[in-house]
Amino acid sequence: MWKLNDNYLKLPGSYLFSTIGKKVNEFTEAHPEKSIIRLGIGDVTLPLAPAVIEALHKAVDEMAVKETFKGYAPDLGYSFLREAIAKNDYADKGVNVTADEIFVSDGAKCDSSNIQEIFSADCKIAVCDPVYPVYVDSNVMAGRAGEWDPKKEMFTNVIYMPCTAENGFVPELPKETPDLIYLCYPNNPTGTTLTKDQLQVWVDYANKVGAIIIYDAAYEAYISEADVPHTIYECEGARSCAIELRSFSKNAGFTGLRLGFTVVPKDIKQGDVMLHSLWARRHGTKYNGAPYIVQRAGEACYSEAGKAQLKEQVAYYMKNANTIYNGLKEAGYTVFGGVNAPYVWLQTPDHMTSWEFFDKLLNEAGVVGTPGSGFGPSGEGYFRLTGFGTYENTVAAVDRIKKL
């Protein structure tokens, strides 16, 4: 008799954003006359840049002609894209990552949930708290997280590293030694960062205890301060302990186009076996490459025109984030993030819970954000707003919040 993977049954409730969507729908049905401004989910709103659109049309035309038609892509990505990434994201920044260490995929969500598969089932994971839910949930499904403790709102076999205003959102090295450490900087959901020195501490720690850092740098394009590293490979020793995940979703608006990549340096080994070989084997067996037309769109992000256009898009979203940050600060809120990331993380007023503040904001201001507690117990008492809306809506939302 077949049996289902009962690890799935350990996952509490539904996915955070489904719950939010449900609440918003209920509100809209009850109050169809009220306008809603959504600054909750991290989806972009600007259309694709002209250089990207041009590349897509051109690639589509190639697919229409026998001589230039492209069938199966190379499992690990087309050379033209891997080379462009290696040059622009690494070599040009003085960082040693080669094209054949770059694995092109259909996005960082897939990569960040699939990467755990190449590790042993008994590896113990450490995550920041609050955290992007996918890291934990994918490990729950794989049976690595233990049981859900509904009282603590934590899994019994996961090391949670609190990141709160008290420690400046810099996680402390854990007491118990993890095997896999998930770090996301600039951080989702808090919008905070580590300096290069602070990240070096983690790289040194990982090399010392024999842990792997899974470094999610999906928001790299939003870094504005000089001492914030753009890649973990700026840190000495990272090539022997760190995997880096990158995305085209937030720097180029590819949320609906789907493109990302993962760097697995060939220096990460166990005995004679490169971790790189396992990830390559996974790609070869369980994946069939990102669409050719989308990879060409990715390449266009690195053209001179593409770079300039994407810089403007990022600036637009950062103007929104600054508007939220400064507006709420003026209104007396305690706010974080918003400087090197499109997310503003605020402390809820009057000791409200995150969901209480969610309801208040929805009901009284018609603004949708994301309750901090949805990202983990240390997110309780916090709330996330994103700079990914339109500028007009962002200004209007801040005005409404100020009037609360």
| Window 130-149: residues binding its own copies (CB under 8 A) | 133-134, 137-138, 141, 143
CA 79 to chain CA centroid, Å, is 25
Residue 303 as a binder of its own copies (CB under 8 A): the answer is: no
Residue 294 as a binder of its own copies (CB under 8 A): the answer is: yes
Region binding its own copies by CB under 8 A among candidate stretches 191-199, 291-299, 332-340, 361-369: 291-299
Residue 211 as a binder of its own copies (CB under 8 A): the answer is: yes
Residue 258 as a binder of its own copies (CB under 8 A): the answer is: yes
Q: Which of 10, 11, 88, 393 binds its own copies (CB under 8 A)?
A: 11
Region binding its own copies by CB under 8 A among candidate stretches 146-154, 188-196, 274-282, 374-382: 274-282
Region binding its own copies by CB under 8 A among candidate stretches 88-96, 107-115, 216-224, 305-313: 107-115
Select from 229, 251, 254, 252 the least CA-distant residue to 242: 229
Using CB atoms within 10 A of its CB, is residue 186 exposed (0-12), middle (13-18) or buried (19+)? buried
| Nearest distance in Å: CB 402, its own copies | 27
Residue 273 as a binder of its own copies (CB under 8 A): the answer is: yes
Residues in Cβ contact with 388 at an 8 Å cutoff, skipping those fewer than 6 apart? 39, 42, 43, 44, 45, 317, 320, 342
Residue 17 vs 352, nearer CB to its own copies: 17
**Number of CB atoms found within 10 A of residue 173's CB:** 16
Site string for its own copies, 51-80 (x = CB under 8 A): --x--xx--xx-xxxx--xxxxx-------
Residue 60 vs 404, nearer CB to its own copies: 60
Residue 190 vs 247, nearer CB to its own copies: 247
* CA–CA distance, 242 with 197 (Å, rounded to integer): 16
C-alpha distances out from residue 50 to 9, 106, 293, Å? 45, 21, 15
Q: How many residues bind its own copies (CB under 8 A)?
A: 80
Residue 165 as a binder of its own copies (CB under 8 A): the answer is: no
| Nearest distance in Å: CB 167, its own copies | 25
C-alpha distances out from residue 328 to 21, 299, 346, Å? 24, 38, 8
Cα 281-283-285 angle, rounded to 5 deg: 65
**Number of CB atoms found within 10 A of residue 315's CB:** 12
Map the footprint of its own copies across residues 16-35, applying CB under 8 A. Answer: 18
* DSSP secondary structure of 361-397: IIIII-EE-EEGGGG-GGGTTEEEEETTS-HHHHHHH
Residue 179 vs 216, nearer CB to its own copies: 179
Q: Which of 31, 79, 87, 117 binds its own copies (CB under 8 A)?
A: 117
Tracing tokens 């622009």 back to the chain, one arrives at: 88
Residue 28 vs 207, nearer CB to its own copies: 207
Report the amino acid identity of residue 169.
F
Map the footprint of its own copies across residues 187-206, applying CB under 8 A. Answer: none
Q: Which of 79, 96, 167, 270 binds its own copies (CB under 8 A)?
A: 270
For 233, the 3-state DSSP assignment is helix
Map the footprint of its own copies across residues 212-241, applying CB under 8 A. Answer: 212
Select from 335, 313, 342 the least CA-distant residue to 218: 342
CA 10 to chain CA centroid, Å, is 24
| Nearest distance in Å: CB 105, its own copies | 10
Region binding its own copies by CB under 8 A among candidate stretches 10-18, 314-322, 328-336, 394-402: 10-18
Region binding its own copies by CB under 8 A among candidate stretches 44-52, 298-306, 316-324, 336-344: 44-52
